[in-house]
Amino acid sequence: MKLAAVAPPATPEPTTRWRPHPLDLVAVVLAVVGAACALSGLLPRAETTATLHRILPLLLFLGTVIVLAELTAVAGVFNVLASRLAIASRGRWAALFLLCGGLATLTTLVLNLDTTAVLLTPVLLALARTLRVPAGPLAVTTVWLANTASLLLPVSNLTNLLAADRVGLAPLTYATRMALPQLVAVAVTMALLWFTWWRRDQPTGGRFVPPAAHVPADPVLHRTALAGCLLFIGGILAGVEIGLASTVALALVLVGFVIRSPATLRPGLVPVRLLLFVTGLFLVVQTLGRHGLDDLVGTLLGADGDALGALRAGGTGALLANALNNLPAYLAGESVLPGGDATRLLALLIGTNVGPLAAPWASLATLLWFERCRAARVTVPMTRFVLTSTLLAVTGTLGAVGALLLVS
């Protein structure tokens, strides 16, 4: 009698334990320490209330614009743009360089630098794989322009919102004041990108095979997300309060996803880590300012209000950003400078926007960019990155502050 073979017992699949990301831990620690500062009295109740009142509109904007950008990426808007740029370049490496730089600049200007770091980086890395070209130039393009192209509009960077509020400038007035510094910062960035990354790593003959056009999976969602982005941009240019503009634009896109792809809408879209990070950072920096940080920053900034004072403010912003992070660097400098000293405040802003490139932790956008590169298994040569980024931080800050002095 032949016995039937008995299948061996199935081996249970190993369970993957959830582990928090290092940035999650940083955000939680900052939030807890900030709360402790407020509850313990290290930060007086009046200052705590004023700080929270100031950042609530910023948190609304950050939360809504990041979700808007995430859904825009899901709808394929960035992928369509990237593929069309590659096709428009007609296989020419130099043309692709200009178009990718233009896309990164535009994304940073109208959707803020974190959007460029988080969402455009994987798109350009995927484009590099499709074209079979080195990923380094495309990767560095996103992180450099995420920082240096974030000067023109208040929405481009959280620090801009703070600066525009402090000096009392409306969005269009602020943009007029920062237009020349922004132009100079982008020009310096593009020049260094080409000579230190793109020209060195270009394919043979400076040519590549263009890809096929990307077709979005759901054209209706694609058009809806694109309309939401255009509505947001139009609202900003019309002078609508930024939190309201981003909320209305997001509401339009959410309606499209509720109808077409409700499964996409999940709690994880809300950038809780970023919101905790910003809230905790504000409270901690305010507390440190009361206990010695303001005195140190005041010494670095000096009392000069002329051109030398502006250059000193820009340099101090860049130095502190690379030593700590650009957001606390700006907050610390802002607390020391008088509100009427618009030129030095904007110079400080330039230093904290253009300067935080020499260290990986210098801005949240740079940290997020490293995370995206690691997730895509793309390794950027660290020595080369730090050296070239330091060169950009110095030359970009000097050039942009010089341009600011010309229009002041």
- The dihedral built from the CA positions of residue 309, 314, 315 and 321, taken in this order, carries a sign that is positive
Residue 326 has pLDDT above 50, yes or no: yes
Statement: residue 78 has pLDDT above 60 = yes
Mean pLDDT of all residues in 122-148:
90
Q: What is the pTM of this model?
A: 0.77
Could you tell me which residues are beta bridge partners of residue 92?
Answer: 207
Average pLDDT rounded to a whole number, residues 76-100: 88
342-401 pLDDT, tens digit per residue, is 899 999 999 999 999 888 778 878 877 887 787 678 888 889 999 999 999 999 999 999
SS (H, E, C) 109-162: HHHCHHHHHHHHHHHHHHHHHHHCCCCHHHHHHHHHHHHHCCCCCHHHCHHHHH
Unique residue bearing structure tokens 């043309």: 95
Per-residue pLDDT, 98 = 95
pLDDT at position 17 is: 61
Residue located via tokens 């200052």: 47
Please list, residue by residue across 349-363, b when 16 or more beta carbons sit within 10 angstroms of its beta carbon and e when fewer do.
Answer: bbbbbbbbbbbbbbb
Confidence of residue 166 (pLDDT cuts 50, 70, 90): confident
**Which of 393, 338, 345 is closest to 162 using CA atoms?**
345
Q: Is the pLDDT of residue 296 over 80?
A: yes
Query: What is the rounded CA–CA span in Å between residue 91 and residue 81?
Result: 16
| 193, HSE (Cβ side, Cα atoms, 13 Å) | 27
Query: What are the tens digits of pLDDT across the range 197-236?
Result: 999 888 888 888 888 888 889 999 999 999 998 898 788 7
- CA 314 to CA 393: how far, in whole Å? 11
Give the tokens for residue 394: 């110095």
